[in-house]
Structure 1
Amino acid sequence: MAKKNRIYYLTKFEQFDQQPLGLIASWNWPAFFCGGVWAIYRKMYGWFFAFWGIATVSSVLEKAGSPGIGALVFFGPWIAFTVYANSLYHGRVKKKIAMAQLSIKDTPKLLEYLKYKGGVHTWVIWVFGLLPIIGILAAIIIPMLQPVPTPHSSSSKNPITRQSQSASSPSYESEGWTQESTGSTEVGPWLDYSPPGTRFCRYADRTIYRVYPPGVKPDAEKANPFCVGDSTLRFRGQTTVSEKGPTS
């Protein structure tokens, strides 16, 4: 057993030895906060992999559309393990001692063997303690190392932006344009969900129409020349529509 917290566990083990065999409830805060990490720290490898398997099953259930069942599968065993962690650890220690006593009769050698086989994995503290720190540093440093895109490079890599910029402003005589009513008089961000190059105009009754460049929506109705000529493009995510337009 590890030197650290020795008095705590010896006291618990003495209490367990005075009670009938079997699992005995006794809350363990380190096991509650660390779960499988506490198990591998105490060299309880089977319980560590059990936590791993439970987490995997829980994740599969959540992705399958059953987050409630997944949470129950995850937290149920976690709480149960926390309640019986001291008793499970007590059983492991007693088993190790009993097996060692069968093969080693010399007391000094027995104590040396138990010291080697028992104890804890101190590396677990370093590994799992440094992981959050490494994650935080990576989240800070990686964005700083990435090149800042210029407006020119951003627009050249964005196909939607390229198509929007390449669509020249149409005139009243432009051919091949089609239109489609939005059925609304309100301007909002929902207008941004339109094909690249889409323009907008407003009729006299204030209904907003989408105006499509040639080939974008050939099956839509032919655009009104006045609607095409007075149409406007989106601007930085906000849609501006012309107050002009045909009278009907």
Structure 2
Amino acid sequence: MPEGHTLHRLARLHQRRFAGAPVAVSSPQGRFTDAAILNGRLFTRASVWGKHLFHHYDGGPIVHIHLGLYGTFTEAPVPMPLPVGQVRMRVVGAEYGTDLRGPTACDVLDEAQVSAIVARLGPDPLRKDADPSLPWARISKSRKPIGALLMDQSVIAGVGNVYRSELLFRHHIDPYRLGRDVSEIEFADAWTDLVALMKIGVRKGKIVVVAPEYDHGAPSYAPNRPRTYVYRRAGEPCRVCSTPILTAVMEGRNVFWCPTCQV
């Protein structure tokens, strides 16, 4: 599932390519039945909260998009080729277009409905209005493991499995440590680091977490991906201490950690 930095990159791209002009909106597969009410409208802006992307249109309609596990946007210059596969929504501007496939959500909402979605989410570290005191208030009182709390979008919006595992490693925190046992200083340092890491993700389009002195040796978990400390490295030696990396299922996703570096 794409993490928050990916949605912010998409919002910036769509803002640059579509905002301020009318766009053609269609649904080649026919499932996005509200495409007709958007077609020809002025695309005013794109915004993001966590893993939720919003396309705002003149007159009030807002397209809410959640990519989920399988959703993707593909971009192409105009004239775009004929749609291939199950394209839920196609947006075409003066010079570029984009196709959306496989999202968990793609629907038209009004401002009140968008506000209701945002109200259920924690602060987004990539937004200027993010207030770290809000997640800290919940984490500091919680009996749930910090690894589970970081994946809870109502605590912090936009963090996914890679950032969860890597952030906890970078701050020497066992994912099974209870939220209430994380110190305020530890949380403050981790929040500052998370903001910086996610900003790098927006800029580079990749999750870059490994310090230069450890960015060598065993290859990345997948081609064309930067190295990680622990994510998808179960059984491999820790890049710092050589202890085999452990993994377990937490909140429905595999979490990875080093039992020596993270205590």
User: Under TM normalisation by the shorter chain, which class is it?
Assistant: under 0.3
Structure with greater strand percent: 2
TM-score by length of 2: 0.22
More helix by share: 1
* TM score, norm. by length of structure 1: 0.23
Structure with max Cα Rg: 1
